[in-house]
Amino acid sequence: MSTAPAPSAKPVDTRGLAGQTVGDTSICAVTQTELIYRGYEIADLAENASFEEVAHLLIVGHKPTAAELAAFKAEVASMRAIPTSVRDAIVRVAKESPNAHPMSILRTGVSLLSHLDPDCEDNSPAAGLRKSKRLLAQIPTIVGACQRTLDGQSPVDPDPSLGHAANLLWSITGKKPDELAARIMDVSLVLYAEHDFNASTFSCRTIASTETDMHSAVCGGIGALKGPLHGGANEMAMEMLKDIDRDCAGGKMTVDPKAINEWMQRAFAEKRKLMGFGHRVYKNGDHRAGILRRWGLKLAEKQGPSSKKWFDMGDEVQAIMLRDKNIHPNVDFPCGMTYFIMGIPVPQYTPIFVAARITGWCAHIMEQHANNRIIRPLASYTGPMGLHWKA
């Protein structure tokens, strides 16, 4: 008796290294249901840890004691000022090139810092830790100097009395944030601090594997994070909501679900890429998204209808995406709304991402340097063979 041949298996799409394990790390684990920083789950950290505690956990390698945390916070706060030459360069670029993306300006600022860092060419663990702390401290100052210049204002000096998140907001806006705004920013930094071998972190590790310096690797990470398919997604998500508001609300404080549904159906028909949704790993939803939405909604409800409408609109968009496409939001979606109602200019969303992710990048760079082998994968060649140059 003959049997029918078994159907051939559908080929696995491994483009972008999808599904491939490319190395070991003790820093972070990402699964369909959990995000873990050195053993601690993200919901636990977002609820109970400050960003400074998480930064210590990632960079130094363990949960700090009360004494260690106090010393770490004081040390990082003392490092926030940037050299005058770097500050002047940031101001000049922002003034003379107002269309330059803040991520590009930040990348330049980090590169300039490298020339003045006494540990730049030293890849030892002790030097790596010192550089990590300086970058953690100085990146918010660069971000603030850039935005203040774009706003036609002079940069403000870092405030050592403020925590990391509050000082970041102070540097950008020149205003001392209230407790809720500082807490929301702190939570967002915790959520964005680390995410295993994502595109920017893998870029940092690949660069570091050549045994080049930390600043060079971080510049590569900034370049990778700038892309709209990675860190820039939070900017694009907010721009999408602004388009929906313009087309469906016309500045009104109320949301029209029917108009939003019609807008979404047109976007689907036009195959428009809707940012802030879907994730390579989290097929059943990014658990960071719900955490940040809850905090952002607290601020929106405190501020009133003009802020609350963005979350009402976002909830409609989210429901339609889940109903029609079975796609969940990722953390970039509520981030866009939350930062917007905090008064942060959209182009600064991704630089703020850097202010958080620098902790994960530096941890990975140090881990790569500590047990290094140059990252050099093979390629599957698909071009012609056997050609002859001379007939």
The identity of residue 357, as a single letter, is R
Question: Both tokens of residue 272?
Answer: 């428009």
Cα–Cα nearest to 149, from 91, 195, 200, 101: 91
State how far the Cα of 233 lies from the Cα of 275, in Å rounded to an integer.
6
Catalytic-role residue among 328, 332, 364, 369 = 332
Give the side-chain half-sphere CA count within 13 A for 8: 3
Residue 136 · residue 128 · CB < 8 Å: no
State how far the Cα of 201 lies from the Cα of 363, in Å rounded to an integer.
10
Output the CA angle 134-137-143, nearest 5 degrees.
Answer: 120
Residue 75 · residue 64 · CB < 8 Å: no
Output the CA angle 255-257-263, nearest 5 degrees.
Answer: 105
Catalytic-role residue among 164, 215, 279, 328 = 279
Residue with tokens 């429901």: 319
Question: Both tokens of residue 390?
Answer: 């001379």
Residue 89 · residue 107 · CB < 8 Å: no
Q: Is 332 a catalytic residue?
A: yes
CA distances, 42 to each of 132, 202, 337, 355 (Å) = 22, 21, 21, 18
Question: What is the residue-wise DSSP string for 260-299?
Answer: HHHHHHHHHHTT---TTB--SS-TT--HHHHHHHHHHHHH
Residue with tokens 């809850």: 294
Residue 337 · residue 316 · CB < 8 Å: no
DSSP 386: S
Catalytic-role residue among 230, 256, 312, 315 = 230
DSSP 138: H
Give me the active site residues, please: 230, 279, 332
